[in-house]
Structure 1
């Protein structure tokens, strides 16, 4: 007799699958956090044990966070910026290492970490085909030979926004919405799990207001 013909077994299976669907994401998230914690916490463990001859879990993570804060503190003044700029140029010239370093720096800058704002505005564009909308970011503006304003628009992938497509669009090909760059980035990284309840179109086509919601 198959489980589908046995009500008790079917109920048992459905409850198990329901519980599994709930527990797996939690376990995966906790596993990822533990993995990151162990890596960060263990980076300075040998140094701490060498100088202080003692160690307990969490000290490496606290020291790492403190060092990151101190680097940010140094960057807040002119001389610190000059020193770190020199270090940045030096690291960018180290063979093999510079490829990883430059790629990581590009990812961080793309995600808008720090004081630099990478994207000007979050918008919607018809992509990958007419009738389908995708979140995108205005990165720059230019004009053509007739003086018409054109926009460089980056259409990122999800959940990895560092890979996508760059398009040159006219004003009437862009739909402006009331989503901040930060919220749009959260939406992309979370694959839509984090998204505003309503998305208000504030400008469509040649600038005419549009009250409809997507």
Structure 2
């Protein structure tokens, strides 16, 4: 006895269309996942290569060709500029940690401090680098939430320190320096002086908070439960 297929031609077309849609959806999901996984690695490698190549090229230009022509020919030695630059910074770092180096640094800082415009620029740059490089500094090591730009709207921020000097003196409460980054470029943003009691300290790390900001909320860190403070 012959069994008749009860599916109509329209139903066959609908099932075929759903299968194609499902396949297209999976391909699209795989494509986006592949981009998310490979893009950060690729961009990081590329930027690192560009930076190292830039340093190598600039430093190599100031090295006399006579130093390496005899055993390498007319072509510059790849990586020589980078090696020279690293060696230079190491020597300067060693020199700056001994008595004579500290004395020389104090002398030129004293001279720069007498130059109105230069002392402002130098002081600001020095303070930024000291804050970033200091191993014991709490700058950018705590993620917080605060109501900004208005009540009821919350933003992610990073604690950069405790307010001091005139900023703290003219306020009635303990004030914290908070950097509120913009999305998707966290290198720009706003510096806010916020009362400590108005901050919500988060359990997520600074790296996780940066990913949250850069991804515009797409990459959400896991909830570890409870605030750190």
TM-score using structure 1 length? 0.61
Match of residue 13 from structure 2: none
- In 1, the alpha carbon distance for the partners of 2:113 and 2:210 equals 28
Contact 2:209 2:221 in 1 (8 A): no
Give the drift of 1:51.
Answer: 4.8
Match of residue 199 from structure 2: 174
Give the drift of 1:82.
Answer: 2.8
SS in 1 for 2:174: strand
SS in 1 for 2:156: strand
SS in 2 for 1:198: coil
Contact 2:143 2:209 in 1 (8 A): no
Deviates more, 1:62-71 or 1:151-160: 151-160
Give the drift of 1:36.
Answer: 0.5
SS in 2 for 1:124: strand
Residue ranges of structure 1 left out of the alignment (5+ in a row): 204-214
State the number of aligned residues: 192
TM-score using structure 2 length? 0.58
Is the alpha carbon distance of 1:11 and 1:174 closer, same or farther for their aligned partners in structure 2, counting shifts above 3 Å? closer
- In 2, the alpha carbon distance for the partners of 1:120 and 1:29 equals 21
SS in 2 for 1:126: strand
Following superposition of structure 1 onto structure 2, how do residues 105-120 of structure 1 map, counting pairs within 5 Å?
105-110=126-131, 112-114=132-134, 117=137, 119=139
Residue by residue, what CA displacement relative to the aligned partner does 1:66-105 show, whole Å, maximum 9, x if unpaired?
2112222122223312313444566788899888766654
Please state which structure has a larger fraction of its residues in helix: 2
Deviates more, 1:120-129 or 1:5-14: 5-14
Give the drift of 1:132.
Answer: 1.8
78, 81, 91: which is aligned to 1:70? 91
- In 1, the alpha carbon distance for the partners of 2:65 and 2:193 equals 54
Give the drift of 1:16.
Answer: 8.2
Residue ranges of structure 2 left out of the alignment (5+ in a row): 1-16, 70-75
Q: Where has structure 1 moved over 6 Å in runs of 4 or more? A: 91-100, 192-197
